[in-house]
Amino acid sequence: VELLVRLLSSLCHWVPLQSCQCLAWKPRPIVAWGAEDQHVAAGYSDGTIRVFSISKTEMELKMHPHAVALTAIAYSTDGEMILSGGKDGLVAVSSPRTGMTIRVLADHKGSPITVLQCTRKQYRDFGVEGGELWLATSSDRRVSVWASDWLKDKCELLDWLSFPAPAGPEGLGSLPPSLAAFCPWEPGTLLYVGFGMQKEALFYSLRKKKVVEKISLPYFATSLSLSPAARFMAVGFGERLLRLLCCPASDAQDYAGHDDAVHLCRFAPSGRRLLTASHSAVLLWELTGG
């Protein structure tokens, strides 16, 4: 709690006239994770990225890789690069060591980036070089998956997914977000939820190049998180509902308690706690049992 208060104070103090759109914690180093090692990257409405030291409660670096507001941000798995996505669909790769942007990808141009995520991979897992997989998801229901080795300046498109959807319903102010995540318990698989032909979660195999499992949902999802420690999936909905699912079995438990759409779900690294947020409520859930 103390770290969160200090972080929020830093963000407000250093950038009073800009809106913080997204945040990413720097991954844990191999050495013990002390307060001196903790950093967070924040993306702002003016297209800038600011890196903050938690222990010093101060901004250490400012970069400007985008001309429009940022909508998603993520660290590479080793913490050596920052991936950022903008409202215009451009994805930038920047070095927090040098402050330079080393690559800009325009494959999603024209549609805001909704998710960026990185995961480790073994060499030649998919017939391409690189030590890391990462994905970008945009609001037009497209997901791109990449293999990269930033030290060798290599970045190769591994797969491109496009999910169909009917015409947007009348009277709906905005469509549900397009969300994707690598599946921690099933290597080479990603999960996708978004506005589509059916209300469902889709498991897509990167090796088989097809959807291998579908799980029906009561509504279109507004948030998503997969547990890194067990086969659990948390899904939030605009109907003030949180659903916890055990995969691949379809055991589902629904929880109320939010005052508005559940727009954020986040499992803790241990998988034993889940953080969810709506308009004016942040809830911390404790997971019990196996």
192 contacts 143 by C-beta, under 8 angstroms: yes
The answer to whether residue 57 sits within a structural domain is no
The answer to whether residue 138 sits within a structural domain is yes
Calpha distance 126→190 (Å, rounded): 14
272: left (phi over 0), alpha (psi -120 to 50) or beta: alpha
Calpha distance 73→41 (Å, rounded): 8
The model carries a pTM of 0.89
Residue 94 maps to which CATH number?
2.130.10.10
- Identity at 131, one-letter amino acid code: G
Calpha distance 237→278 (Å, rounded): 10
Which domain covers residue 96, as residue numbers?
A: 70-286
The answer to whether residue 64 sits within a structural domain is no
Indicate the SS3 state at residue 152: helix
The answer to whether residue 1 sits within a structural domain is no
pLDDT of residue 5: 44
pLDDT of residue 35: 47
The answer to whether residue 263 sits within a structural domain is yes
Strand locations in 150-226 (E): 154-162, 179-182, 189-193, 200-205, 210-216, 221-226
Low-confidence stretches of the chain (pLDDT beneath 50): 1-6, 8, 33, 35
100-111 as b/e: b if 16+ CB within 10 A:
ebeeebeebeeb
Q: What is the DSSP letter of 225?
A: E
The answer to whether residue 33 sits within a structural domain is no
The answer to whether residue 190 sits within a structural domain is yes
pLDDT of residue 125: 74
Q: How far is CA 188 from CA 17, 82, 100, in A?
A: 42, 23, 31
Domain count, the chain: 1
Q: How far is CA 80 from CA 6, 83, 94, 162, in A?
A: 24, 10, 9, 30
The answer to whether residue 10 sits within a structural domain is no
pLDDT of residue 98: 94
